[in-house]
Amino acid sequence: MSSDSETSDAPDPSRIVAGADVLAADVLVGGPARAALDHVRSHSWLDLVASDHLLDDAEAVIAELADDELADDWRDRIERERVSVEHPPGDQPALASAYRGDAAHVLSFDDELGSVETAARLQGRIAMSVRHPKAFDAVFDAASLYDAVVGGEYPGPDRDPRE
Amino acid sequence: MGLKGQCAPVERQAGGRLKHPSDGRTTLVGPSGSAPFLWRRRLDETMTWAELFDRAERWDVDEEDVTDALARQREADADE
C-alpha cells in the first residue's frame, strides 16, 4: 500500500496498529503487549501498520527506559516489518496510522483511546476497534480471520515470532 | 580500525562497539577476533526479536513505566 492511499469505509481486518505504548512494552515488558504482537509476528498475512511519528514515539520511550542502542536496534527491526503510512504531525499517531492505513484494529493501553466515548466519536468516520492488548489476545481467532482474509483452512502460524 | 568487507570501514568505539560511518549504526561485538564475523552478519541482518527481548530484560520496566514515559514524551512534544 502506498503511504498516501485513500481510506475506505471497510478497514482491512488483517491490518493492525499498535500504539507507541504497546510497541515499547512489547520489547521492554513482555506480557499482554508481546502476546498480542506475537499474533502479528506469527502470521505473514497480518500487517503491522505504523507511521514514522508512531515509531518515533515508541523509539523515544525505549531510549528513555532502556538505552539508545536498544532503541536503534528496535527501530531497525520494526522498519523491516511495518507497513508505512503518513499523517500530519499533530494527529494522534495510532489512530491516524489506522485511519490512513485502513487498519481494523488498534492496540493501546490508553483507556481514553479505547473508551466507549472515543469509539462513538469515531463511529461515523472510522470503523476500527481500539482494544487493550490483553483483550485483543483473548479474542484473536486466527482460523476465522484467515478464512476471511486469505480463504480456506487455517494452516497454522507460518512465521517464528522470535526470528 | 579498518575492518574491510562489502562496506565502508568501521571504527571501534569505547565499550567494544563498532560504528559504521555510513549510517552511524553501532554494533556490540565480543572482545576478540569474533568481531569481523559479527559485524558482517549485522550488516545483512537486523536483530531477531529473541535477541531484542533478551537484551531488554536487563532493564526492569513495567507497563506503568512505559505509559508514564510516553506521557512525558507527549508533554515534551506539546511544549515544543
Where do the domains of chain B lie? 11-79
Has residue A88 been placed in a domain? yes
Q: Is residue A32 part of a domain?
A: yes
User: Could you please report the per-residue DSSP string of chain A?
Assistant: --TTPPP-SS-EEEEEEE-HHHHHHHHHT-HHHHHHHHHHHT-TT-EEEEEHHHHHHHHHHHHHHS-HHHHHHHHHHHHHHEEEE---TTS-HHHHHHHHHTEEEEE-S-TTTTSHHHHHHHHTT---EEE-HHHHHHH--HHHHHHHHT-SS-----S-TT-
pLDDT at B33: 40
- Name the percent of chain B lying above pLDDT 90: 32
In a domain, A92, yes or no: yes
Tell me the shortest Cα–Cα distance from B34 to chain A, in angstroms: 20
pLDDT along chain A (163 residues), means of 10: 48 96 98 98 97 97 97 96 94 93 95 72 73 96 95 95 95
Which residues of chain A lie closer than 8 angstroms to B56, CB-CB? 27-28, 66, 70
Is A7 among the domain residues?
A: no
- Give CA–CA dist B12/B61, Å, rounded: 30
What is the span of the domain harbouring residue A98?
A: 12-148
Inside any domain, residue A2:
no
Question: Which residues of B fall within a CB distance of 8 Å from A31?
Answer: 63
Phi, psi of A35 (to 5 degrees): -60, -40
Amino acid identity of residue A78, one-letter, is: I
Size of the A and B interface in Cβ pairs below 8 Å: 82
Q: Is A100 a domain residue?
A: yes
Determine contact: B71 vs chain A, CB below 8 A. Answer: no
H-helix or E-strand spanning residue B72: helix B63-79
Interchain contact, A25 vs B66, CB within 8 Å: yes
Q: Report the residue of chain A nearest B57, measured CA to CA.
A: A28
Number of structural domains chain A divides into? 1
Q: Name the amino acid, one letter, at A64.
A: E
Q: Does A27 touch chain B (CB under 8 A)?
A: yes
- Residue A106 placed within a domain: yes
Given this model, what pLDDT does residue B79 score? 82
pLDDT at A48: 98
Domain at A101, CATH number: 3.40.50.1010
Give the N- to C-terminal CA distance of chain A in Å, as an integer. 24
Residue B76: pLDDT band (50, 70, 90) is confident
Q: What is the pLDDT at residue A70?
A: 96
pTM as predicted = 0.78
pLDDT tens digits, residue range B23-59?
Answer: 665 555 544 444 444 444 444 568 999 999 999 999 9
- What is the ipTM, given to two decimal places? 0.89
Whole-angstrom Cα distance, residue A13 to residue A32?
20
- Asked whether residue A163 is domain-assigned, the answer is no
Our CA-based measurement puts residue B48 at a distance from the nearest CA of chain A, in whole angstroms, of 5
Would you tell me how many other CB atoms lie within 10 Å of the CB of residue B60?
9
For the stretch A132-157, pLDDT in tens is 999 999 999 999 999 999 999 999 99
Q: How far apart are CA A9 and CA A32, in angstroms?
A: 29
Position B51 scores a pLDDT of 95
